[in-house]
């Protein structure tokens, strides 16, 4: 089954999810007016999303394994639908906070159900779920355009919410009638038992991936939260250049996802890719914070989006699930929970750091990027050593099988030698026949497909014939005593 319809719906879901991530911030002025709150209080409502995600990931991850992916996904879609349809009409700030929490819950339901489903669809490209990140970025790219065109045409801001609600609704009906792949826990357990990793190594990789989930999410939020202010206040760029930096970051992100998807399809090593991308992120971050030249800043912002927001977090999740395939849902929940801790703590941490200046606030992101890079380097080496031992044991297993065949053939050869020995004894011929040995060695050389190996084969055959002579001498002794 190709699951084309299912995949299309899942991708569309993430496009809407991308819109949901920024829809409140994009309409904050109008929403704030509805709630009759100052801007500072209005933006406080945004923190509800982080709270909802943090609280829901574990439960929904667990439910995704126990009850089913489809059910959890539909729950998430209902939650998003409610959020979109109620938000533009709501005039109460407490309800607005509740709706933000609901959006967070919807987000965790989507992740807990969708990523495991993608793995269970069993695509040839096991990293197909990385494209979900591209749809998030497209949603984040489209929404500001929709908001701006509504504004420019003097239309009601709430239409942006209604558009998203309608897509969710259509998708809900589609999902309702779509068959999901079978949950693969039984097969997965078997695979897990054959895993070449030791328990300790698995634990180490899991911890490093947990760290990476946090840092990879943190560096993105950190950057997007402070870059515009940094560009205006510290680098003294004009408003247009400063906002262009964020747009280039988004375009870089979409191109990054497509590049990663392509490279993984071409069997490029996932762990190598993580190291490479982390290093590019780190380097471009250093350039952004140290060089005050618009063109260079733009290139660095693009490269940062290309490397840091390119689905690297999703690669980490794929590695984690491959390591522990039994409970995909709960693992996805735990993994993204570390990410949502980042979305919760980064605004707090950077808020404190900004007391020392915006420069300090943005530059500290370099430390997070270094920690993330060290984590992926650790993961890379953990996989590398396993692959080596893995190859070694596979090759030795092959040698064992070949040896078994060789000994079987040697057995037959010695049986033939027994007959030769008997014939020679009857005609009183000597055991050693140098002419015949030379013949055998010449034939062996001609059988060999490699000139390099021929002398080694000759050596082996001389050994076989020496053993053959010893064996014949033994036979003659017994025969002579008869
Ligand atoms: O062909 C023979 O005359 C053998 O005894 C067999 C054999 C061999 O093992 O191939 C062993 C000893 C001889 O020197 C030559 C060949």
Whether the predicted pLDDT of 333 surpasses 50 = yes
Among 183, 206, 222, residue at a domain's last position: 183
For atom 3 of ligand 1, the residue with the nearest CA is 433
Distance CA 46, CA 426 (A): 102
Please say if the pLDDT value at position 481 is more than 50. no
Same domain, 238 and 324: yes
Q: Is 471 in the pocket of ligand 1 (CB under 6 A)?
A: no
pLDDT of residue 380: 95
Same-domain pairing of 129 and 230: no
Residues 192 and 174 in one domain: no
CATH code for position 343 = 1.20.1250.20
Does 208 share its domain with 176?
A: no
Report the percent of the chain where pLDDT is more than 70: 94
Answer whether residue 40 shows pLDDT above 80: no
Closest approach atom of ligand 1 to CA 436: 15
Ligand 1: nearest atom to the Cα of 472: 5
How far apart, in whole angstroms, are the C-alpha atoms of residue 131 and residue 15?
A: 11
Q: Based on the fold, state whether residues 176 and 197 are members of the same structural domain.
A: no
* In a domain? residue 425: no
CB 133 within 8 A of CB 10: no
Residue whose CA is at the smallest distance from ligand 1 atom 10: 465
Cα 454 to middle of ligand 1, angstroms: 20
pLDDT for residue 390: 61
Single out the residue of 68, 56, 104, 298 nearest to residue 179, CA to CA: 68
C-alpha 315/C-alpha 269 separation (Å) is 11
Question: What per-residue confidence (pLDDT) applies to 186?
Answer: 43
Same domain as 20, residue 151 = yes
Query: Which numbered atom of ligand 1 lies nearest the CA of 465?
Result: 9
Mean pLDDT (whole number) for 392-408: 83
Give the separation between CA 364 and CA 366, rounded to whole angstroms.
5
Same domain, 271 and 291: yes
Which of 125-129, 179-183, 203-207 has the highest average model confidence (pLDDT)?
203-207
Q: Count of domains in the chain?
A: 3
What's the CA-to-centroid distance between 82 and ligand 1, angstroms? 89
**Residue 437 Cα to ligand 1 middle (Å):** 6
- Atom 7, ligand 1: which residue's CA is nearest? 465
My answer on whether 145 and 230 are in the same domain is no
193 and 179, same domain (yes or no)? no
The verdict on residue 407 lying in a domain is yes
Question: What's 177's DSSP letter?
Answer: T
Predicted pLDDT of residue 315:
93
Q: What is the mean pLDDT of residues 402-423?
A: 95
Span from the CA of 469 to the centroid of ligand 1 (angstroms): 7
Is 424 contained in some domain?
Answer: no
Q: Is pLDDT larger for residue 77 or for residue 327?
A: 77
Measured in Å, residue 408 CA sits from the centre of ligand 1 at 19
Identify whether residues 313 and 293 lie together within a single domain: yes
* 26/301: higher pLDDT: 301
Q: What pLDDT score was predicted for residue 123? A: 67
The answer to whether residue 228 scores a pLDDT higher than 90 is no
User: CB of 420 closer than 6 A to ligand 1?
Assistant: yes
Q: Model confidence over 348-390: pLDDT tens digits?
A: 888 888 889 889 989 999 999 999 999 999 999 998 887 666 6
ipTM for the whole complex: 0.93
Q: Which of 76-85, 253-262, 325-334, 335-344 has the highest mean pLDDT?
A: 76-85
pLDDT digits (tens, 9 = 90+) for 69-120: 999 999 999 999 999 999 999 999 999 999 999 999 999 999 999 999 988 8
Using the CB atoms, write b or e for 77-115: b if 16+ within 10 Å: bbbbbbbbbbbbebeebeebbbbbbbbbbbbbbbbbbbb
What is the 32 CA–ligand 1 centroid distance (Å)?
99
Does the pLDDT at position 190 exceed 50? no
The better pLDDT of the pair 397, 8 is held by: 8
C-alpha torsion angle, residues 318, 320, 323, 329 (rounded to 10): -80
440: Cβ below 6 Å to ligand 1?
yes
pLDDT at residue 129, rounded to an integer = 85
- Are 321 and 209 found together in one domain? yes
**Ligand 1 atom having least distance to the Cα of 431:** 5
Question: What is the pLDDT, as a whole number, of residue 471?
Answer: 97
Residue 189 has pLDDT above 70, yes or no: no
Q: Who's near 141: CB < 8 A, 6+ residues apart?
A: 18, 250, 251, 254
**Cβ of residue 432 lying under 6 Å from some atom of ligand 1:** yes
Least-confidence region, from 222-226, 305-309, 423-427? 222-226
Q: Indicate if 448 and 399 belong to the same structural domain.
A: no
Answer whether 114's CB lies under 8 Å from 73's CB: yes
Mutate to test the pocket of ligand 1, among 409, 416, 417, 435 (most ligand atoms within 8 A of CB): 417
Tell me the CA–centroid distance for residue 406 and ligand 1, in Å: 19
Indicate which atom in ligand 1 lies nearest the CA of residue 417: 6
Instruction: State which ligand 1 atom lies nearest to the alpha carbon of 421.
Output: 5
More confident residue, 172 or 350: 172
Å from CA of 479 to ligand 1 middle: 18
Mean pLDDT across the chain: 90
What is the domain range of residue 80?
1-183
């Amino acid at each position: 089954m190709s699951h084309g319809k299912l995949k299309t719906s899942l991708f569309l879901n993430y496009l809407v999810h991308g819109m949901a991530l920024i829809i409140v911030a994009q309409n904050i002025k109008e929403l704030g007016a509805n709630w009759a709150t100052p801007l500072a209080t209005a933006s406080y409502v945004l923190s509800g999303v982080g709270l909802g995600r943090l609280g829901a990931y574990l439960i929904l991850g667990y439910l995704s394994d126990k009850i089913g992916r489809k059910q959890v996904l539909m729950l998430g879609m209902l939650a998003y639908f409610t959020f979109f349809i109620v938000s533009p009409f709501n005039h109460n700030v407490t309800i607005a906070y509740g709706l933000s929490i609901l959006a967070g819950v919807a987000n965790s339901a989507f992740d807990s159900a969708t990523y495991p489903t993608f793995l269970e669809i069993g695509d040839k490209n096991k990293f197909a779920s990385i494209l979900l990140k591209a749809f998030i970025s497209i949603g984040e790219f489209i929404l500001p355009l929709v908001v701006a065109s509504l504004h420019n045409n003097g239309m009601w801001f709430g239409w942006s919410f209604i558009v998203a609600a309608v897509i969710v609704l259509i998708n809900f009906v589609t999902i309702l009638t779509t068959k999901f792949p079978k949950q693969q826990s039984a097969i997965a357990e078997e695979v897990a038992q054959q895993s070449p990793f030791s328990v300790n190594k698995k634990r180490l990789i899991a911890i490093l991936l947990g760290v990476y989930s946090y840092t990879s999410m943190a560096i993105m939020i950190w950057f997007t939260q402070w870059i515009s202010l940094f560009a205006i206040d510290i680098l003294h760029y004009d408003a247009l250049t400063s906002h262009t930096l964020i747009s280039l970051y988004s375009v870089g992100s979409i191109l990054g996802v497509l590049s990663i998807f392509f490279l993984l399809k071409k069997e490029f090593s996932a762990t190598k890719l993580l190291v490479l991308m982390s290093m590019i992120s780190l380097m471009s971050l250093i350039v952004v914070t140290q060089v005050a030249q618009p063109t260079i800043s733009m290139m660095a912002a693009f490269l940062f989006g290309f490397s840091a927001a390119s689905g690297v977090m999703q690669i980490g999740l794929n590695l984690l699930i491959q390591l522990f395939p039994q409970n995909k849902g709960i693992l996805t929940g735990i993994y993204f929970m570390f990410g949502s801790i980042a979305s919760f703590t980064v605004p707090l941490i950077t808020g404190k750091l900004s007391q020392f200046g915006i420069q300090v606030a943005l530059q500290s992101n370099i430390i997070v990027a270094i920690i993330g890079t060290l984590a992926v380097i650790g993961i890379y080496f953990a996989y590398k050593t396993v692959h080596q031992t893995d190859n070694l044991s596979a090759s030795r297993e092959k040698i064992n099988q070949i040896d078994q065949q060789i000994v079987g053939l040697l057995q037959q050869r010695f049986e033939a030698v027994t007959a030769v020995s008997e014939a020679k004894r009857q005609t009183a011929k000597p055991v050693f026949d140098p002419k015949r040995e030379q013949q055998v060695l010449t034939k062996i050389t001609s059988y060999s497909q490699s000139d390099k190996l021929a002398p080694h084969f000759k050596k082996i055959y001389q050994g076989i014939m020496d053993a053959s002579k010893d064996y014949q001498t033994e036979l003659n002794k017994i025969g002579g005593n008869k």
